[in-house]
Structures are given as structure tokens and as C-alpha cells.
Amino acid sequence: MRVLLLGGTTEASLMARILAQAGVDAIFSYAGRTAAPRHQPLPVRVGGFGGTNGLTAYLRDTGITHVIDATHPFAAQMSKNALTACAKVEIPLLAFERAPWIPKPGDNWLTVPDVVNAVAALPVMPAKVFLAIGKQLISVFATRPQHEYLLRLVDSPEAPLPLANANVVIARGPFTEEGDTALMQHHCITHVVAKNAGGMGARAKLDAARALGLPVILIDRPVMPPRVIARTPEDVMTWLGHPACLGV
């Protein structure tokens, strides 16, 4: 058995620890988006594979027998490429994916299908917007320059931001409700824009928004083709045939 673990999430790091402890032959793959990615207890490769064809060749050349897709729920391109390449090479793929967030009493969420609709859902009058969506899609918000934006990024931006009126906080999760409440109060936030990523550490901003009575514009996950999904490390290990190797 030789596993390719597609990473970039807290879940992927958790799975890496469990696979390493179980002695499973596995390779961890990063896209290479952050300057200082977390250390992993597995051999690591960094960077794109070169689309579906590149990934297909990689799977064949390295003798991968199983792929665990533990990428972010919004990393749809990578996930679709992995499905296609695994089908070509005829090896099994499992998506280790956190459940989406569902509203709790007191949450004031407007769910939208994509980032363009998130922009359209902002008010016309100037607002102070916590744009908690990473850095890749923020340029779309340049069409609403009347708002003041708060961005939270993992790395300092290397190029000027596409948003003129933006404050940047550099921080890496997990975050807490107390910390995010203080952050939003400090910046007098009136609206939160977030992706429905799921998980614990990133939920803090939604709990803080509820505590402060703020509206949240929540972007839905991209629609994926049907695939096998595991919600827990136990399920992943059972799928691999290693049910006893837990406890990390």
C-alpha cells in the first residue's frame, strides 16, 4: 500500500499524524500556497501536479495505491482532478471532508452560491466587512469600493492588494470566539463574509458574529461529482484496512 494524502487543511495534518503512527507508507502533498507550511511527519511534495494528466502520471510513476483527498472543501479543481486521475489509474479515492456548518439559533446567515453573489449581497451603503475568505478571490470585491474591508491572511501579501480600503491581519487558525469577537469589535465590523468551510477552528468567526448580532454572508461549497466521503479519521483508517491504528 502507498497512499497519496492531498493536504492543505487541519484534517490533512491530523491524518498525516495518524498514518505516520500507523507506519503506513504515505506521501503528503501541498499545493505550495503558503510560505511556511506546517511540518508533516510524512515525506512531503510541494506544488501542482500539472492537471489531470500530470497527476495520472504521478500516480503511476510513484506506485500510489490509494488517494486520500483532504483538501479544503473549496479546493474543487484539485478534488475533481484527483477523481479523474484515480479513475484512469483505477485506484480508490476517499475524500476526508468536514461536514458543512449549519446555523444555530440566533445566527443571521444569508447563504449564497458563490463569491459573485456574496458581493451582490453586500449593502449599497458603506459597511465594514470582515472578508474571511482567504486571498484568492478578494479582487471580486473591488467592484464595491465604498466598503472598508478587514482581511485575515496566513502570509503578508507580496503584491499590493486589489482592495484600496482594506486592513490586513496576519494570523493562522485555529481561532477562538473570544478572539474573533474582540477582533470584530476593534474594527467595528458590520458584516461578515465567509465560506462554508466547516470544522471547529474557523467556526469562531460565525460564533462571534452571532454574539455581536452581525449578519453573515455565507458562501456555499462548490458542487462536487459523487465520491466516497469519510468524516472521521477512524473511517479513513477502516477504508485503508487499518482499523486498529488510531489513538493520535
Q: Is 101 in the site for ligand NAP (CB under 6 A)?
A: no
**Cβ contact 161:168 at 8 Å:** yes
| Residue among 195 and 203 whose Cβ is closer to ligand NAP | 195
Decide: helix, strand or coil at residue 15: helix
For 127, the grid coordinates are: 459597511
The 172-211 site mask, x for binding ligand NAP (CB under 6 A), equals -----------------------x----------------
Residues paired with residue 195 on neighbouring β-strands, in sequence order:
219
Regarding 33 and contact with ligand NAP (CB under 6 A), the answer is yes
Reduced to 3 states (helix: H, G, I; strand: E, B; else coil), residue 161 is coil
Rounded Cα gap, residues 89 and 64, in angstroms: 9
Minimum distance, C-beta of residue 90 to ligand NAP, in the bound complex (Å): 20
Residue choice 3, 7, 64, 66 for contact with ligand NAP (CB under 6 A): 7
Instruction: Pick the piece of the chain touching ligand NAP (CB under 6 A) from 29-37, 166-174, 186-194, 211-219.
Output: 29-37
> In this chain, which stretch among 50-58, 99-107, 145-153, 169-177 interacts with ligand NAP, using CB under 6 A?
50-58
Q: Give 18 or 95: the residue with its C-beta nearer to ligand NAP.
A: 95
- Select the residue interacting with ligand NAP from 3, 8, 42, 206 (CB under 6 A): 8
Q: Does 51 bind ligand NAP (CB under 6 A)?
A: yes
Query: What is the spatial distance between Cα 193 and Cα 179, in angstroms, rounded to a whole number?
Result: 17
Query: Which residue, chain included where needed, has cell 499590493?
Result: 160
- Could you tell me how many residues of this chain bind ligand NAP (CB under 6 A)? 24
Residue of the chain from 81, 181, 190, 196 that contacts ligand NAP (CB under 6 A): 81
Is the Cα dihedral 18, 52, 230, 103 positive or negative?
positive
At 11 the three-state DSSP class reads: helix
Closest Cα partner for 68 from 42, 105, 45, 95? 95
Please say whether the beta carbons of 184 and 121 come within 8 A: no
Given the rule CB under 6 A, which residues bind ligand NAP? 6-9, 29-31, 33, 48-51, 54-55, 71-72, 74-78, 81, 134, 195
